[in-house]
Amino acid sequence: MSAPPTTGRYSATLQAIKDRRAAAGPLKAGVAAYSESDFFKAPLQQQTGKPMAKRWDLVDHLSTESKHRKPCTLKQAAKHLKNPGMISLGGGLPSSEYFPFSELSMRVNMPEEFTESGPSTTPSIGKHDMAFGKDYDLSVALNYTQATGSYQMMRWITEHTELLYNPPYADWGCSQTTGSTAALEMALRMFCEGARKDTVVTEEFSFATAIETIGPLGVATVGSAVDGEGLVPEALDHLLSTWDEAARGSRKPHVLYTVPSGQNPTGATQSAQRRKAVYAVCQKHDVFILEDEPYYFLQMPAYQPPAVRAAQPEASAAAPWNLDAFLSSLVPTYVSIDVDGRVMRMDSFSKVLAPGSRMGWITASAQIIERFVRHSEVCSQGPSGFSQAALFSLLDTTWGHETYLQWLQHVQHEYTRRRNVLLDACEAHLPKDVVSWVPPSAGMFLWMRLAHDKHPEIGARSIESIEEEIFNNCIEGGVLAARGSWFRAESNKPLEALFFRATYAAASEENMVKAVERLGAAIRKSFKL
């Protein structure tokens, strides 16, 4: 974690956002209202001395499919609905009269406890609230929308992005998504194509679903070496500098997919210095970065053993709320150091609010946003209206930016405690002569390395066979752990090391301890300890 802040930059930015809202008054945006981030960014954003983003249509990075995407005719026509007195006989937008939902209400946990038994409030959103001066209602939320998502949520997302990330180029923007997996699939189709023999670089062990998304597109995946801080910039530079297209049968990679914070599966978090070094390598080789950050706000202090925590109980207590201290403690994101516009950051509510919302957003240059929207218009058409209504009621109407950030600090503290429970159990119940790990400083996962060279049958059996045996021992013993081989970037290569991944996100604290005991027994059985 970084040192406490010396300035109140975040507080000043948040106050400026509040002042802009007060000056603008209630939102007046109806069904399928067009919106973009420039509507909500700080005034004179284009005149702050920030550079414009690099043009990606001037290099051979975008796919043929992406280049050929055209605006959706009917969605473009919906822009005219904002004209006073306009009567539509155009698009088939159903009348809200036939929506059988008159009101949605929910019980929301409030600070400082954020628990079901603590303080709460019950916001609601009705069908015709905008007629009474409200910003949003069900007649708008449950109808068709622009692919960027609702005008109302676009404002919140743009403000949040400006407050936290403030990209250092002028023409940045956002677009809502149906979650980061869908956003990644569209981004891959924008930048890659099998006919060009494209390859995506990832960490050598990467998010299994991402790898499974890349492969069917006819695009190859190549892994770059990692250490305790994630991607090793020197290894990435060597991989790209020595790329032999003839020998590999594919183009030199121009896309990097990375999970920089609490990486899945390794749990590694790239430091600020590491991110700058990786970014410099991508500048050198003109690589576009797909930054997937579902665990960004689950950054944690370093793990301390139980005895140390017991001697310093104040260190384990939740820190008093301070906006600037909390945001300054987070490692800067790639998009906040992106002077070129070569990053598309994918944000998600899945790990910090609810995965079932199927809602997130991307941040990128205006050109990339425009191409992304062209894909979305004929694919997802934007996130669910129910999700937008519920999240707007929570994040905008009820909590606001600062209370949402308080919630994130609360979740961060809760996951820190859960991580500690799992690591304490590992220290107590795993055979440390054959199992080692680096305590994660973010995310939801612990990556365990098993010393396969100490296995009594290593000369006669493959690592894959030993891994399968341990996995089956786990299942028989009543514990499910993820096999390291599931996360290989290059599954066609034989395993060179033996890993398992455990999560501290799902099981109760009591069951986590039981699970680690069972995992330890499964490992001992295979290693004959």
Q: What is the CATH number of the domain that holds 484?
A: 3.90.1150.10
Q: How many domains does the chain have?
A: 2
Pair 365, 225 in one domain: yes
pLDDT at 497 over 70: yes
> Of 382, 416, 439, which residue sits at a domain end?
382
Which pLDDT belongs to residue 391?
A: 98
Residue 118: how many other CB atoms lie within 10 Å = 11
Residue 489 domain-assigned (yes or no): yes
The string of pLDDT tens digits covering residues 285-342 is 999 999 999 999 999 999 999 999 988 887 777 788 999 999 999 999 999 999 999 9
| Parent domain of 197 | 9-63+76-93+152-382
Both 449 and 369 in one domain: the answer is: no
Band (pLDDT 50/70/90 cuts) for residue 60 is: confident
Examine the pLDDT at 403 and tell me if it is beyond 80: yes
Query: How are beta strands 172-177 and 360-365 bridged, if at all?
Result: antiparallel
Q: 387 in a domain, yes or no?
A: no
User: For 156-180, what is each residue's pLDDT tens digit?
Assistant: 999 999 999 999 999 999 999 999 9
Domain boundary among 382, 399, 419: 382
Q: What is the pLDDT of residues 244-273, one digit of tens each?
A: 999 999 999 999 999 999 999 999 999 999
349 lies in a domain?
Answer: yes
Indicate whether 18 and 86 sit together in one domain. Answer: yes
Nearest alpha-carbon partner for 162 in 152, 172, 151, 153: 172
**Residue 53 shares a structural domain with residue 169:** yes
- Cβ neighbours for 368, distance < 8 A, ≥ 6 positions apart: 53, 56, 190, 341, 344
Same domain, 39 and 159: yes
Q: Which two tokens stand for residue 282?
A: 């991508």
Chain centroid, CA 216 distance in Å: 22
pLDDT band at residue 381 under the 50/70/90 scheme: confident
Among 320, 352, 382, the domain-final residue is 382
In a domain, 80, yes or no: yes
Residue 453: the pLDDT is 96
CA-based nearest residue to 361, from 219, 164, 216: 164
Check whether residue 452 and residue 361 sit in a common domain: no
Same domain, yes or no: 325 and 462 = no
Residue that has been written with the tokens 């991944």 in this structure: 501
CA distance 341 to 365: 5
Does 15 have pLDDT greater than 60?
A: yes
* Geometric angle at alpha carbon 130, from 125 and 133, rounded to 5°: 110
Same domain, 334 and 462: no
Same domain, 358 and 436: no
- Please provide the DSSP assignment of 381-402 as one string: -SS-HHHHHHHHIIIIIIIHHH
At 18-44, the pLDDT tens digits run 999 999 888 888 888 889 999 999 876
> Up-side HSE of residue 504: CA atoms within 13 Å toward CB?
30
Residues 343 and 217 placed together within one structural domain of the fold: yes
Note whether residue 322 is domain-resident. Answer: yes
Residue 47 pLDDT: 46
- The pair phi, psi for residue 352, each rounded to 5°, is -120, -15
* 304 and 177, same domain (yes or no): yes
Chain mean pLDDT for the chain: 93
Q: Is residue 267 situated within a structural domain?
A: yes
Asked if residue 465 is part of any domain, the answer here is yes
Pair 411, 228: CB distance under 8 Å: no
CA distance 102 to 89: 25
Please tell me the number of Cα atoms within 13 Å of 515 on its side-chain side.
20
One domain for residues 363 and 455: no
- Where residue 177 sits, what CATH number does that domain have? 3.40.640.10
Residues in contact with 104: Cβ distance below 8 Å, sequence separation at least 6, in sequence order: 124, 125, 138, 386, 389, 390, 393
Distances (CA, A) of 350 to 66, 294, 354, 361, 387: 27, 7, 5, 11, 12
Instruction: Provide the pLDDT for residue 1.
Output: 45
User: Is residue 146 a part of any domain in this protein?
Assistant: no
